[in-house]
Structure 1
Amino acid sequence: MTIWVPSLESFSGPRYRAIAQSIGAAISTGELAPGERLPPQRRLADALGVTVGTVTRGYAEAEHHGWVNARVGSGTYVRQHAPRTVFDMAWNPSDNSDIIDLSLSLPPPHPLRQQAFSDALSVISSSPAALTRGVSYLDARGSEGHRESLARWLEQLGMTLRADELLITQGGQHGISLVLSTLLRPGELIAADTLTYPGAISAAQQAHLKMVGIAFDEEGMCMDALEAQCARQPPRLIYVTPDQNNPTGVCLSEERRERLVSLARRYDIWLLEDGVQYLPVEQRGTPLYQLAPERTLFVFSTTKVLAGGLRIGVLRSPDVLLERLAAGLRAQSWMVPPLMVDIACHWVAQPAAGSLLAWQTDELAVRQQLTTQALFGYTLSGRPKSSNVWLSLPEGARAIELCERLQQQGVKVSSAEPFCVGSAPAPQAIRICIGAAADRQMLNQALTVIKQCLAQPPLATVTV
């Protein structure tokens, strides 16, 4: 009789945690079905060449994540309704309309998005030059005209980037994956905050990289911890979201940006700076690509500003890596479809793009205030004009339990598990994506449910 035996090579950290992560991956891909029994611990230990205690600890870790249930005298089973994992972060618009999904970081809905897209399609369809590009092979980096158009738009957003240092990508996630798969070899080390963007974690796993989490606090990644890691084993690349950590919203201080650059130069480390989670320029710090242009790759996208469906982004690269990255992009998809790039370039050149972004920035500021008021007395963090709020739960509360309770009440949020790097335990906290709600009324409805669920036993309550 065959049993399910995971491959642990793609997972970083201790073996027990790799076993737990492999269970989460198998559940998300359907390899392990709801209700399916996991192999007996001794049999799996023999198959993997590890101790029974390692498997026992791995199963316990998977249960802590909420992926499985242990039944005394029977075994360990996949939960019937397992929560989302790092491998299952897709938004399904056909979900039950009674569910308010605040689990994904989406820009606030606005009819201008559909209207601007429609206008761009109309213009493109009657442009002989655009139609010719749409059926032609172009440079893997994107046409010079497209890169210049996007560079002008980025300048308007306060990002000074040259067209000749850009590659056009199929969104920010593609940019991250392209960098990791092109510049790093399987088994090399990448460092990031202990809580970070799940897409970066997934991209590292797909590239068979080892990922180590670096502790961070209210000023961002702790440089003493990073320096200690460099002394033990320098990472080949550091992934960082300096202006707002995803999920907590923490901003890397200017002093630590300078020290990060110094460490990267001393140990010859690439820096991958992710700026996709947009903030207005007055809330951003000094870009790493300005502090260390010779070793910083910068990722940006239209996703959080215009529309996720465009799948158009840019990757800023040091000159020495441009050809290498272009070859990597060509090997993956030859080029980004010119039609979609034309649509994005037309869109960003219109006054409506600026109007939409101004509205979005103001709307998110209001939604942040509404959230602060609704959850007064609880520990919240996030940037004043961002789309995410991080809620640290009261003592004794469990994030998985809260997420399940909220979903039963028609609200989806994310627990900390998908954001975890390395072997550190997940904090008891949830991320609330306030931008995803259809409108303020729906956001208030969801916040009311969240507050009610927080107050229900056995979750701890707050005394204000």
Structure 2
Amino acid sequence: MCWIWTASGDWGVVAVAQDFRRVADQVAAEIAAGRLRPGDRLPTQRAFARSRRIANSTAIRVYGELVRRGLAVGEVGRGTFVRAAPPSPGHALAEEPAATGEPAATGSPTARPTVNLELNYPVAEGQSQLMAQSLAGLLRPDVLEAATRPAAADGTPEAREAAASLLARGGWRPDAGQLLFAGNGRQAIAGAIASFVRPGGRLGVEALTYPLVKAVAERLGVSLVAIAADGDGLCPEALYAAHRSAPLSAVYVQPTLHNPTSVTMSEERRAELAEACAHLDIGAVEDTTWAFLAAEAPAPLAAHAPARTVLVDSLSKRLAPGLTTGFLVAPTDRTGLLADAVRSGAWTAARFNLEAATRWITDGTVATVTAAKRADTAARHRLVQRHLGGFRIRTDPRAYYCWWELPAPWRTDTFVAAAAARGIAITPGQAFAVPPHTAADAVRIGLASPPREVLSYALETLAELAAQGPPGGP
């Protein structure tokens, strides 16, 4: 790297920019030449930095530049992949076909739209206008002054009451004094795990679990232990067996609309799991981020095991990922410990976000958007049934995702790569698997992000691909 230093440092900045863009150009050339193919996983940023003899910070900027150019896509916990059908100069990026609701022409690979069925962020029609109306009063100078002050982990009395009403379900309502807040749901999960499990400790999770939990556990120095599940969710007997092999500190579960299988635990299974946690004297982290879609779901695990369950939720799926707040319902005698964990991780929510969330909850914005998204899931599942009804699909018509066990002789890696070549990004099942458990040849299909017309196109394309079989046979 060539540095030309001035008093202002301007030339140094230019040198850095030229360096990371030069490396990004090299990777782009490898993609164009076919040495890197659609669907190929790129090295970790650290490994990439070593192989190119550049700084880690430069590698981060290179990957960011590849994403900005539309040449790569990535998701926390999975990695970065060569994007399906990179856009040619002047050609619309992936988001643009989705915005129009019309698939692009399919005459050539570069003309196909890139449909991202990995990221899964539902947005209801008109929700931005509703949210903007709620924020109008927040922009008054006197109100804004209060909203820009620091916030503690327990937020404000108004925020606690609003969150308690939002999270109430199945005859259960948390006490407002149990509410704590994080910047988002991911931070809420990290804070909850950190409050239960010390570095080096063991956390039980469903054998297929949310990929972010795998990343959080690695950062916290926590070992994940795969617990078997059946058609009713995590099996208490398997939890006992895992604890006998080496003590667990806690278990992380998604009892309602489990991601990726969409399983919802029965009332009886929740009670059995609560009893197991009490018998083993371990805590539970209950993730209800997607539970808002299931209006008639049973009461949460926290209702059965209030003294040892931390319930986590957020506004990211209810509203939007960029304007979110994370919620934690803490057992009464663990509120202080959990608040310390949230503060120590710098995961507390911003006061402005708390004030916005409180307004969106109390004025009915969240309820209106939630109702729209529940109707939207039903419409999207009609598309799933139309195009994928003949395959082995595990899902729930209330969920924004489905688990597809691929027909033989397809293997997950070859199917993901073949889908990428058709311009469709899907998540390999192994991204959810916790070692030593391995996922069968399966993929998760996210249904939320593209407009329905584009989703229909993508599902039809995937069905045709699955029926054709892999290139060259088994």
CA 1:373/1:158 → structure 2, altered by over 3 Å: closer, same or farther? farther
Contact 1:364–1:385 (8 Å) recurs in 2: yes
Q: Which amino acid aligns with 1:30?
A: Q
C-alpha offsets along residues 400-434 of structure 1, whole Å, 9 cap, x if unaligned? 11111111111111111211112122211111111
1:123 aligned residue = 137
1:262 corresponds, among 275, 292, 308, to 275
| Secondary structure of 1:174 counterpart | helix
C-alpha offsets along residues 228-272 of structure 1, whole Å, 9 cap, x if unaligned? 112222310100001122111122233322221111111110011
1:86 aligned residue = 77
TM-score by length of 2: 0.76
C-alpha offsets along residues 123-148 of structure 1, whole Å, 9 cap, x if unaligned? 211161x3232332332221112111
Measured after TM superposition, the shift of residue 157 of structure 1 is 9.1
2:210 aligned residue = 197
Measured after TM superposition, the shift of residue 287 of structure 1 is 1.2
1:235 aligned residue = 248
Between the aligned partners of 2:325 and 2:258, the Cα distance in structure 1 is 22
1:114 corresponds, among 128, 148, 162, to 128
Between the aligned partners of 2:395 and 2:330, the Cα distance in structure 1 is 29
Contact 1:28–1:87 (8 Å) recurs in 2: no
Equivalent residues in 2 for 1:218-229, closer than 5 Å: 218-229=231-242
Within the alignment, does 1:448 sit opposite 2:460 as a pair?
yes
Within the alignment, does 1:379 sit opposite 2:392 as a pair?
yes
After TM superposition, the structure 1 stretch with the greater mean CA deviation from structure 2, 185-194 or 145-154, is: 145-154
Measured after TM superposition, the shift of residue 112 of structure 1 is 2.1
Contact 2:153–2:182 (8 Å) recurs in 1: no
Within the alignment, does 1:349 sit opposite 2:362 as a pair?
yes
C-alpha offsets along residues 152-174 of structure 1, whole Å, 9 cap, x if unaligned? 33348975122100101112111
Contact 1:394–1:460 (8 Å) recurs in 2: no
Between the aligned partners of 2:407 and 2:424, the Cα distance in structure 1 is 19
After TM superposition, the structure 1 stretch with the greater mean CA deviation from structure 2, 234-243 or 96-105, is: 96-105
CA 1:184/1:197 → structure 2, altered by over 3 Å: closer, same or farther? same
Contact 1:382–1:390 (8 Å) recurs in 2: yes
| Secondary structure of 2:345 counterpart | helix
1:435 corresponds, among 433, 444, 448, to 448
2:427 aligned residue = 414
| Secondary structure of 2:291 counterpart | coil
Q: Which amino acid aligns with 2:118?
A: S
Equivalent residues in 2 for 1:251-290, closer than 5 Å: 251-290=264-303
CA 1:360/1:81 → structure 2, altered by over 3 Å: closer, same or farther? closer
| Secondary structure of 1:452 counterpart | helix
Measured after TM superposition, the shift of residue 85 of structure 1 is 7.3
**Structure 1 residues not aligned, in runs of 5+:** 1-25, 38-79
Report the aligned-residue RMSD. 2.8
Q: Which amino acid aligns with 1:86?
A: G
Between the aligned partners of 1:353 and 1:260, the Cα distance in structure 2 is 31
1:249 corresponds, among 244, 262, 267, to 262
Q: Which amino acid aligns with 1:196?
A: T
**Structure 2 residues not aligned, in runs of 5+:** 1-40, 53-70, 84-91, 97-112
1:31 aligned residue = 46
Between the aligned partners of 1:182 and 1:341, the Cα distance in structure 2 is 22
Within the alignment, does 1:324 sit opposite 2:320 as a pair?
no
After TM superposition, the structure 1 stretch with the greater mean CA deviation from structure 2, 394-403 or 93-102, is: 93-102
Contact 2:286–2:310 (8 Å) recurs in 1: yes
Q: Which amino acid aligns with 1:200?
A: V
Between the aligned partners of 1:460 and 1:35, the Cα distance in structure 2 is 36
Measured after TM superposition, the shift of residue 346 of structure 1 is 1.1
| Secondary structure of 1:105 counterpart | coil
Contact 2:293–2:399 (8 Å) recurs in 1: no
| Secondary structure of 2:203 counterpart | strand
1:293 corresponds, among 306, 309, 316, to 306
Q: Which amino acid aligns with 1:402?
A: F
